[in-house]
């Protein structure tokens, strides 16, 4: 029988082998083998990075990881190998991060009507500033947020200024509206309808892509809080403490390790703040932590926050 210290070394060795290219197959529990079923996922208090500076705060989430192609496996190392189908969630994104996402992923195309977009909370309304590409004209718009009937975000323009002159009254007099002023044809994730801009979170974010309909939206400070779906009656992490990302059932591959009938929990080593996670650097976060095998031969990994990796390296070098 392995001593506790030997067991810890053994588990960490398995993880290191998987991340450094040595294949290590993990059998499914019992004789059951998952036939590429969706991977159940649950998250709590996770700061999830799409890029180093751009992240969303996942307060809570339940859903599934769906393989991008039927018969394939969800692969952590391939952001296009899966879609996150959200059953219920509360996710917030800072106005600055949302503006950066829109500038980098939606408004960078030649067809985009707007450039240099900034967003901020102005008296509990969303204020958008930028330039119309047509004529390079600065504009400013303030509007109210609501949920569209199909689960997208609707921003209704209350006030519009161009070159510091109010144009809303003039547009009404001439029978024009916001959609005619800026246009938004052929821009994925962005539509203009009369005096409303409609934003589709499923299309504006970089991979991994999401599926899910927003049921409520609000501004809290400079954060845009989006509620998806409705809370589920129960889920497999109902009693899981701390900040975590948990995966259950289905096939899941990370590094060279493939889990059939997945049973994986990534837990924040420091529960005093949000679990700062960046999928592009998950290997570094895992290697900087430690792991344990569960009684059901699942894997429980205690990972270091992404934003603390450099600090940990600096201390280790001293």
Going by C-alpha positions, the residue among 62, 70, 6, 81 that lies closest to residue 240 is 62
pLDDT at 313: 55
pLDDT, tens digit, 9 for 90 and up, residues 162-212: 765 555 543 443 344 555 555 556 678 888 888 888 899 999 998 999 999
Mean pLDDT, all residues of the chain:
82
pLDDT of residue 169: 47
pLDDT in tens, 274-313: 999 999 999 999 999 999 999 988 999 999 999 999 875 5
Alpha-helix residue ranges (DSSP H) falling in 72-174: 95-105, 168-173
Interacting residues of 205 by C-beta distance below 8 A, sequence separation 6+: 50, 101, 105
**Confidence (pLDDT) at 196:** 85
C-alpha–C-alpha distance, residues 153 and 247, integer Å: 29
CA dist., res. 73 & res. 104, Å (int):
29
Which string of b and e fits 187-206 if b means at least 16 CB within 10 Å?
bebbbbeebbbbbbbbebbe
**What is the tens place of the pLDDT at every residue in 93-102?**
999 999 999 9
pLDDT value of residue 5? 44
Q: Which two tokens stand for residue 226?
A: 């989006």
| pLDDT beyond 80 at 62 | yes
d(CA 86, CA 202): 11
CA distance linking residue 293 with residue 299, whole number of Å: 5
- For the stretch 117-171, pLDDT in tens is 999 999 999 999 988 777 777 888 899 999 999 999 999 988 888 765 555 543 4
Q: Output the pLDDT for position 9.
A: 39
For residue range 219-273, what is the model confidence (pLDDT) as tens digits?
A: 999 999 999 998 777 778 888 999 999 999 999 999 888 999 999 999 999 999 9
Mean pLDDT check: name the lowest of 17-21, 64-68, 257-261, 291-295.
17-21
Domain edges within the chain: 33-87+232-317, 95-225
């Amino acid at each position: 029988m392995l001593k506790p210290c030997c067991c810890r070394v053994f588990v960490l060795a398995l993880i290191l082998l998987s991340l450094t290219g040595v294949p290590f197959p993990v059998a499914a529990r019992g004789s059951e083998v998952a036939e590429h079923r969706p991977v159940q996922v649950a998250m709590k208090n996770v700061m999830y990075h799409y890029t180093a500076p751009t992240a969303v705060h996942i307060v809570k989430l339940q859903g599934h990881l769906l393989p991008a192609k039927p018969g394939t496996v969800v692969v952590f190392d391939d952001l296009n190998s899966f879609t996150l189908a959200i059953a219920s969630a509360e996710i917030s994104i800072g106005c600055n991060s949302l503006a950066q996402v829109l500038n980098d992923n939606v408004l960078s195309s030649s067809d985009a009507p707007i450039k240099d977009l900034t967003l901020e909370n102005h008296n509990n309304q969303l204020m958008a500033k930028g330039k119309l590409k047509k004529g390079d004209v600065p504009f400013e718009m303030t509007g109210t947020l609501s949920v569209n009937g199909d689960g997208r975000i609707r921003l209704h323009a209350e006030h519009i200024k161009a070159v510091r002159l109010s144009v809303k009254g003039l547009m009404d007099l001439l029978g024009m509206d916001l959609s005619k002023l800026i246009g938004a044809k052929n821009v994925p994730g962005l539509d203009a309808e009369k005096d409303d801009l409609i934003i589709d979170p499923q299309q504006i974010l970089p991979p991994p892509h999401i599926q899910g309909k927003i049921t409520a939206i609000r501004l809290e400070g400079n954060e845009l809080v989006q509620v998806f779906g409705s809370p589920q009656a129960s889920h497999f992490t109902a009693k899981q403490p701390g900040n975590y990302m948990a995966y259950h059932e289905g096939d899941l591959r990370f590094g060279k390790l493939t889990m059939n009938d997945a049973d994986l929990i990534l837990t924040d080593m420091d529960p005093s703040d949000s679990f700062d996670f960046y999928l592009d650097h998950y290997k570094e976060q895992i290697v900087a932590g430690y792991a344990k095998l569960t009684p059901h031969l699942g894997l429980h990994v205690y990972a270091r926050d992404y934003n603390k990796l450099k600090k940990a390296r600096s201390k280790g070098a001293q």
